[in-house]
A and B are shown apart, each in its own frame.
Chain A
Amino acid sequence: MQTGTDYMAQATNAVIAPFNWLGGLFVAFIRELGAIAIFFTHAFCLIFSLPLQVNKTIQQIFFIGAKSILIILLVGLFTGMVLGLQGYYTLVKFGSEGVLGAAVALSLIRELGPVMTAIMIIARAGSSMAAEIGIMRISEQIDALDTMDINPIRFLVSPRIVASLISFPLLTAIFNVIGIIGGYLSGVCLLGINSGIYFYRIESNVLMQDISGGFVKSLVFGIIVSTICCYQGYFTHMRPGGFGAKGVSLATTSAVVLSCVLVLIVDYVLTSFLL
């Protein structure tokens, strides 16, 4: 009898185990999201606590925004040029290469601008945000702030969120414009589309709705990237299995991966709402 019940229990366990694992994973994920949301709310409210941290925010805009201009210009230009080439060879099959301008501009403004900009900033500034805050955590600098009665979230995270909210839309706009110029270079200068038609098509097909939708996306991405990268760095010491430098490297990796994935998922969700 004993073996009978044992056998039953084992069988039940085998059935339950995967659900158990899945449930555990899901609960952990939701918990993490909740913690990130609380972290963001905290940091966001502290943006408005007086005195405003103007200098620190400018420093962060310098770091997140101004220093990213070159890479954004480069990536934007080539994205636009590739779009021009690809678009041309696809459209020429239908004899409608005239709408190339619209194709390039719409794909840039609606999708590629915000997403590519976000991914470039994650790679450039997001990773260093996570690493910098992570190192401050493990070398007790965050504790030091705490002992000086300086709120570390206000001091470290809030300026970065504000700077991201300012930098993301601006960089996205720069990316869009330079991308349109890139499309012009390959479409008009290389492949010989009429330049007037190129811009005419852009102007007649791009709606305010597209542009504002693109900016809404870039604002949301700004919040996601800055919050997740700061969060990962801030709680470096809570990571299981990684201490010290190892912990910082893990935090940086997961900050980059998580924010890239979330940017793409949220992009899909936003697009389906905005369209």
Chain B
Amino acid sequence: MTAPLIELKNVTKRFGNHTVLDRLNLTVFEGDITTIIGKSGGGKSVLLKHIIGLLRPDEGDILINNKRFKEMTRKEQTQFKRQTSYMFQNNALFDSLTVFENIALPLREKTRMREDAIKSKVMAKIDQMELSHEVIHKYPSQISGGMQKRVALARALITEPKIIFFDEPTTGLDPLRKNAVLGMISHYQKKIGFTALLVSHDIPDVFFISNRVAIIDNGRIIFQGKPIELEQSENPVVHDFIRGQINLKDDLTGLNTKQEVMDLLNQEMDRANRLQANFPVIMFTIDNMTQINKHVGYITAQRIVQCLSTLLKEHFGAAGTSARFSQNEILMVLPHTDIKEAEKDLNELAVDLQKQEIFQAKSYPKACLSFSVSAGLSETKQGTDTDSLIGQALSNQKIIAHVECIKQGETA
């Protein structure tokens, strides 16, 4: 693991008599996506504003590259500031400037780039964010909330910063766009390699893209570590917190939450062990998610996930309980069926899935892309644990639906 990039030590901040941050400790590592979750009004935004220097702590230290922020020279502080970008909760787009001017502003003000160079750079970012070219001369108040978010993201990315702070990047978006924005952040983080610090309460969607999670409660960090560590955490406060915050259904897919499914799986495996009755699990994976993102957009990618989950519910109904396992994986537990029946259902599902419009190559006339959905069955046996069960399901995966790249002109 790399050295900590940002470290907060015993940071305290009070507004009047109200203590917002109470001797808070947090570490952010370089190249990670770190997510801070917590109740609203719990001081998440205040925490971010401390790191970028908009607010100063009453007590405690903020260390950047092991150097105290308040002891840094003005030049060093400026240099740090230039490497960062901040995406505000309500976007904070300049409403008297057009979309183009908004994105170009950091370049125009802080670099000596020529106007045509700025223009081509901004247009490239606009294309990347899938904003249409008609939008660029509109004002922020004339475009939809989702577009505003993308414009804000474009403005944050345009300076190619090393660290980006996201203050609730998905608030106020519908589930499809929410996941699209998160996908976008994760995609660019992998591509450009910046360090990201997110503040969010979109659990569990945000876990899929985070390397580290920190929970803030009553002004203190009660947990920080990997998402997997969080799920396995024995700390009752943390457990309760996650239970309280998590939605009962996944917004995007309408599936159950991962926690629920894992609980069910554990419970059923116990029962199966006792009664010697085995049951199957199926693991679905959408391959080539990055290519989908790249060629046809983040929203389409999320639509595929949505489509798959709708069909799952249709075909398996009450027999199966399924949940998003990660960004492109869905785990399904079928406690009261046997493997034969599951295989039959799976085959029917495959036929149906291939018929969907979204799996037709001609739905993507402009792009040449291939992607597929794989599914893998595995059955519980005496003494297996969940990890090996899932591992086996993954290794059994076969492609059940796919889209092949078609060259233009061949089919038409």
Residues of B near A203 (CB, < 8 A) are: none
Residues of A near B95 (CB, < 8 A) are: 135, 139, 141
CB <8 Å contact, A147 and B85 = yes
Contact with B along A142-180 (1 / 0, CB 8 A): 011011111000010000000000000000000000000
Nearest neighbor of B112 in chain A, beta-carbon distance: A51
| A140 touches B (CB below 8 Å) | yes
Question: What is the CB-to-nearest-CB distance from B319 to chain A, in angstroms, rounded to a whole number?
Answer: 49
Interface centre among B88, B92, B93 (most CB of A within 10 A): B92
Given A149-B78, A149-B81, A149-B82, are A143 and B92 neighbors across the interface (CB < 8 Å)?
yes
Residues of B near A150 (CB, < 8 A) are: 105-106, 109-110
| B322 touches A (CB below 8 Å) | no
Given A149-B78, A149-B82, are A143 and B88 neighbors across the interface (CB < 8 Å)?
yes
Interface residues of B in 75-94 (CB under 8 A from A): 78, 81-82, 84-86, 88-90, 92-94
| A267 touches B (CB below 8 Å) | no
| B221 touches A (CB below 8 Å) | no
| B54 touches A (CB below 8 Å) | yes
Question: What is the CB-to-nearest-CB distance from B113 to chain A, in angstroms, rounded to a whole number?
Answer: 13
| B96 touches A (CB below 8 Å) | yes
Given A132-B96, A141-B94, A141-B95, are A148 and B109 neighbors across the interface (CB < 8 Å)?
yes
Residues of A near B88 (CB, < 8 A) are: 140, 143-144
Contact with B along A117-140 (1 / 0, CB 8 A): 000000000000000100110011
| B118 touches A (CB below 8 Å) | no
Given A132-B96, A147-B54, are A140 and B110 neighbors across the interface (CB < 8 Å)?
no
User: How far is A148 from B108 in the complex, measured between Cα atoms in Å?
Assistant: 11
Residues of B near A136 (CB, < 8 A) are: 94
CB <8 Å contact, A140 and B52 = no
Residues of A near B109 (CB, < 8 A) are: 148, 150, 155
CB <8 Å contact, A141 and B81 = no
Interface residues of B in 91-140 (CB under 8 A from A): 92-96, 105-106, 109-110
26 A-B residue contacts at CB 8 Å? Answer: A132-B96, A135-B95, A139-B92, A140-B89, A140-B90, A141-B92, A141-B93, A143-B54, A143-B86, A143-B88, A143-B92, A144-B92, A144-B94, A146-B54, A147-B54, A147-B84, A147-B85, A148-B85, A148-B105, A148-B106, A148-B159, A149-B82, A149-B110, A150-B105, A150-B109, A155-B109
Identify the B interface with A (CB < 8 A): 49, 52, 54, 78, 81-82, 84-86, 88-90, 92-96, 105-106, 109-110, 159
The 10 closest A-B pairs by CB, nearest first: A147-B86, A144-B92, A140-B92, A149-B81, A148-B106, A150-B109, A140-B88, A141-B92, A149-B82, A141-B94
Known: A146-B54, A149-B110. 14 other contacts (CB 8 A): A132-B96, A135-B95, A139-B92, A139-B95, A140-B88, A140-B90, A140-B92, A141-B93, A144-B92, A147-B54, A147-B81, A148-B106, A148-B109, A149-B78
